[in-house]
Amino acid sequence: MKAILLCLAGAMAIALAPTTLAAGDANAGKSKTATCAGCHGVNGASAAPNFPHLAGLGEKYLLKQLRDIQSGQRTVPEMTGLLNTSSAQDLADIAAYFDAQPRQWAGAKDDAKAMTLGATVYRAGNLDTGVPACTGCHSPVGNGNAPAGYPALGGQHAEYLAKQLRAFRDGAHDAAWPGARGNDENAIMRGVASHMTDQEIQAVANFIAGLK
């Protein structure tokens, strides 16, 4: 049964993946990211756990998030108005620049119990509650799937990951809930997070932060 769930997760990732590849000029993007450094750090290496690393996250994924934030499909209060004057090419260049930067690793907290639960959820999901393995979209080592637009999460801040999982879970149950997130392709992440407990979310976020 476990193998079936893993295969289904992988098949779903392929079948539902968006097909349009992001395009941009990384060299041109560097000068367009000056205002990003305050929260996301120089070259996309965030020092604050509540702001995500952007370096090496995935060009297609980054471009989608920038477009969604600009259009209002994804609400990020800290970024209100920052992309209002950016052109489509600006967004593509910014995404290309950050994706070209070296990946960063936040590191997991030293909690053996949480690490064990996190590893189980990430690699095998939870058969009893219908949570699929994360590996189907984000790879066994957290490298994501760039062509499909699934981000490379390995090394991302655990605090940020947990916040996003809770936001997707809120979006699955009540789209109008403050902070709820619903800009995932085909509601894949909402479907996954909707069945996760707070304990599972914290554990898998901690595990992913240590993936390298």
Residue 59 falls in which region: left (phi positive, over 0), alpha (psi -120 to 50) or beta: alpha
Is the domain of 110 the same as that of 205? yes
Both 92 and 122 in one domain: the answer is no
Does 64 lie in the same domain as 45?
yes
What is the number of structural domains in the chain?
2
CA 41 – CA 104 distance, rounded (Å): 11
Q: Which domain holds residue 64?
A: 26-99
135 and 173 housed in the same domain: yes
pLDDT digits (tens, 9 = 90+) for 86-135: 999 999 999 999 999 999 999 888 788 889 999 999 999 999 999 999 99
* CA–CA distance, 66 with 1 (Å, rounded to integer): 38
Q: Residue 49's domain is classified under what CATH number? A: 1.10.760.10
What pTM was computed for the model? Answer: 0.88
23-69: per-residue pLDDT in tens?
Answer: 799 999 999 999 999 999 989 999 999 999 999 999 999 999 999 99
